[in-house]
Amino acid sequence: MEWIQSERGGRKLLLGGYMYVKQKDLADGYEGFECELRRNTRQCRAKIKVMGDNQFRDRTEHNHPPNHGRSNATKVKAATKRRATESNERPQQVLMATLCEVTEEGRAALPSLNNMRRNIRRQRQENPNALPIPMTVEDLEIPVDQRLTLGGELFLYHDSGRNDPRRILVFTTERNLQLLSTSESWFADGTFKVVPTIFFQLWTIHATYEGHVVPLVYCLMLNKDQASYYMQGY
């Protein structure tokens, strides 16, 4: 289950090759989503209800097959638009970062690279107030509305602060911590490839969930000193 920003600023839900748009808040605390083909000629009546990022319940069957390529392409286009408007990277750099998520089916549903580059330039012109990229860790202040998942849950769980020489940002959710607490095996590892240049490593804790190994906690760290692994107050 994945969330993406829709064209008009709302949220779309991707699940199993289907895309859903928000219908309404339900009385039981769930949010109701309907298949995006509801208003299409297909008039698909499939619905799903969701709470947070991880709990969902299917309510009605779709009247059409899933389209994994279109789902993937929509996700990649949303990520490209986001990166285009939130960074100053050259269009080629934006595409290199976002196209690594594309599947073979998704590739066929995406516009040509030239068109995607043109879209990036256009989206930038439409969004001149994009946040600048911080050049140092002290410059990095994550806006309050960007500390949440698209599902609205707190995601930036801990930030040791701009003045901390060992600054650590911990990203996870309440639900992920619950899963971690019930999992018998944890796997922790540092990666250096995907890390913004002002940080040293992304340290990730994975655990097993329903037979899969899933990432549950992400820590952006400035170093790999032992002291950084002991967090004050935890």
- For position 37 contacting Zn ion by CB under 5 A, the verdict is yes
13 binds Zn ion per the rule CB under 5 A: no
Contact between 191 and 199 (Cβ < 8 Å): no
44 binds Zn ion (CB under 5 A): yes
How many residues of this chain bind Zn ion (CB under 5 A)?
A: 5
Q: Which stretch binds Zn ion (CB under 5 A): 59-67, 99-107, 111-119, 171-179?
A: 59-67
Out of 35, 76, 109, 221, name the contact with Zn ion by CB under 5 A. 35
Which listed residue (4, 46, 120, 216) binds Zn ion by CB under 5 A? 46
x/- site string to Zn ion, residues 82 to 111, per CB under 5 A? ------------------------------
Q: Which is nearer to Zn ion, 68 or 83 (CB)?
A: 68
The residues with which 5 forms a beta bridge, in sequence order, are 11
Residue among 44 and 110 whose Cβ is closer to Zn ion: 44
Q: By CB under 5 A, name the binding residues for Zn ion.
A: 35, 37, 44, 46, 62
